[in-house]
Amino acid sequence: METSPSIFLRPFDLSDAEDVLKWAGDDDVTRYLRWASVRTVEEARQHILQTAIPHPWRRSISLLKDGRSIGCVSFRPDTGDGRCRADLGYAVAREFWGRGIATAAVRMAVEQAFEVFPEVVRLQAVVEVENKASQKVLEKAGFEKEGLLKKYGFCKEGIRDMFLYSFVKE
């Protein structure tokens, strides 16, 4: 069995643009994401500058050996009465699928999220019913499937049924 390459999470930098284009420009990687694939290095730079850097907590999933960005993981805390929860999102370059990278990144992010956002006690993710791989990632990372949300949200292919997953701090 192949072992997962060593990864770490770090903030994005504009120098990541070419690496981001490789994975964020792949329609298979962005299929279930709410944002469109980037098509040029300049679009990748703008995505980093306008979306990744100002985000409350979005990190590059990076290879320990060379720092190359191979994906992203993020949490967005809710506000007001919902400030006790945060929403999770992630994506990994196709060449790293099936190696445990996404699961490892989500586990690392969970640890950091509770430290960075002390009011957050619930992390949650919604996953399209068809996205079996992402469901496995969440389950392996310790998230619990709470239920089916019918016609819950828009994705590229229309309004989708989604499963709700949560990780609750004890």
| Sequential DSSP letters for 36-82 | PPP-SHHHHHHHIIIIITTSSSEEEEEETTT--EEEEEEEEE--GGG
**Pairing verdict, β 58-63 and 7-11:** antiparallel
The mean predicted confidence, pLDDT, of the chain is: 93
Give mean pLDDT, residues 98-113: 95
pTM recorded for the entire structure: 0.92
pLDDT greater at residue 96 or residue 4: 96
> What local confidence, expressed as pLDDT, does residue 22 receive?
96
**What tens digit of pLDDT does each residue of 122-149 get?**
999 999 999 999 999 999 999 999 999 9
Structure tokens at 142: 């310790």
| pLDDT band (50, 70, 90) for residue 4 | low
> What local confidence, expressed as pLDDT, does residue 157 receive?
72
Site of tokens 């060379």: 66
Does residue 33 have a pLDDT over 70?
A: yes
Structure tokens at 58: 């979005």
**What tens digit of pLDDT does each residue of 39-87 get?**
999 999 999 999 999 999 999 999 999 999 999 999 999 999 999 999 9
| pLDDT band (50, 70, 90) for residue 1 | very low
Residue 4 neighbours by CB under 8 Å, 6+ apart: 99, 100, 101, 104
